[in-house]
Structure 1
Amino acid sequence: MEVMNATRNRAKKEKLNLKKAFEDFIIKDNHPCIMAQTVFSMDQVELNSYSNFGSTETAKQLIQDLEKYISNYDFESNDFKTFLAVFPDSPDYSEIEFENQLWKQLKNLHLVDDAEWDPEVSRDPEDEHFSFSLGGRAFYIVGMHPGASRKARQSPHPAIAFNLHWQFEKLREMGSYEKVRDKIRERDEKLQGNINPMLEDFGSNSEARQYSGRAVGKKWKCPFHNSN
């Protein structure tokens, strides 16, 4: 019993330390994404840590947590929440290495996901209306890691933020989307010194190009391209 309690307490402490590190990254360091600042300041972030970034075993655990997150989400509320998967034991990645691991993890998530693709978005990563679907819901994926070239993506540890696509549609419904978008881009340009060349509105180009945070050219092909 004492060993179990010690293990449980250690895990709890590690999770609190991870959350503090990401809170500092978003709030203390004045992250350009005001939506990220909002969910962290209101304690609306579900943070979980995982090992073996990219693996099938991690995908099985992660899809269960995402399904629980979706089932507990209040879609009638105007409050937003983010699911954050952190991989603290990962090595230092180059941008290419991180991109490869990110898409490997997403592909394995898709393989263990029993739900149908969200009908509100395209399942073709070449399509301008593509969005990644998990648990029957579309998500905008934000990959982050210490080796990212964009400062806004230089998180304390490799991580994936899963933001429900529904949240962006809700912002449009509330008439706030353009204002929030423009403010984030303005703050990101001030932080970096230039505009993120990958940022485009949904429906302008496939958002798959934005997921890893790496600037990719027109000839870039999504690694998920041949998946069904």
Structure 2
Amino acid sequence: MIFKIEFRFKVDSFKKLIMNRIEEDFKEWILDKNHPCMMAQTVFEQEAIVLKDYSKLADSANTEQILKDLYEYIDKYDFDSNSFQSFIAVFKDSKIEDEKEFEQLLWNQLTELSQHDKYSWDKTVSSNPENENFSFSLGEKAFYIVGMHPGSSRIARRSPHTCIVFNLHFQFELLRKMGVYHKVRNKIRKRDVELQGFINPSLDDFGVLSEARQYSGRATSKEWKCPFSK
């Protein structure tokens, strides 16, 4: 019995050490390397992130745990405050060969999450990825998805570990209510151009083109079809 307790303690300590290392990798990338997204810098400076590792992207064995953690994240989120927080699902053991592979795995993961989601789609957004008002939904809350991996062609998406960032759409609407959305957006895009030399061609404002084409970070053509349907 004592051996089991000691073994479990050592395993838990090792997992905590790994997570601390992963979190430090992201902090260094976002803060020390002056990432162009000021919102990302803010949440890391304020330690307003929930960061979890699920080993492999699009592994069906992890779907229920990711959902459970996202539900908990939504339940604990303070929708009455002006603070911001992001949920980052890390897949440290996923080695991505190219952007198309990542895009497919990303949508496979999102599809599995959607299929297991016990809640209705957020009524404030469309569930049709071809619709200009589309946004991904889990737990009846709309999310703007940011997929990132070390091999991304976009420097700002070239994360130290493969991951999916779940940003509540509520936060973007809050910026609009505060009257600073366009100011923040323009500054982020300006910093991204300074870093990369040109803006991400897939970027557009919500309600103009479906944001689905932005999720993977890969430049997509007008003929691109989203590999997801509700």
TM-score, with structure 2 as normaliser:
0.97
1:77-156 matches, within 5 Å, as 77-156=81-160
Measure how far apart 1:92 and its partner are: 3.0
User: What is aligned with 2:63?
Assistant: 59
User: What is aligned with 1:12?
Assistant: 16
Output the CA distance in 2 between the equivalents of 1:163 and 1:93: 26
Identity over aligned residues, as a percent? 54
Measure how far apart 1:208 and its partner are: 0.1
Preserved CA contact (<8 Å) 1:55 1:108: no
Output the CA distance in 2 between the equivalents of 1:155 and 1:195: 18
Say whether 1:196 aligns with 2:200.
Answer: yes
Amino acid at match of 2:21: N
Output the CA distance in 1 between the equivalents of 2:90 and 2:114: 18
Q: 110-119 vs 46-55, which deviates more?
A: 46-55
Output the CA distance in 2 between the equivalents of 1:44 and 1:140: 17
Output the CA distance in 2 between the equivalents of 1:140 and 1:99: 15
What runs of 5+ residues in structure 1 fail to find an aligned partner?
none
Aligned residue-pair number: 226
Preserved CA contact (<8 Å) 2:36 2:188: yes
Output the CA distance in 1 between the equivalents of 2:129 and 2:208: 13
Preserved CA contact (<8 Å) 2:56 2:92: no
Say whether 1:45 aligns with 2:49.
Answer: yes
Q: 1:70 aligns with which of 56, 71, 74?
A: 74
Output the CA distance in 2 between the equivalents of 1:38 and 1:52: 28
Amino acid at match of 2:201: P
Say whether 1:158 aligns with 2:162.
Answer: yes
* CA deviations over 1:78-119 (Å, ceiling 9, x no partner): 000000000001123300000010000000000110100000
User: What is aligned with 1:23?
Assistant: 27
Amino acid at match of 1:110: S
Give the superposed CA RMSD. Answer: 0.7
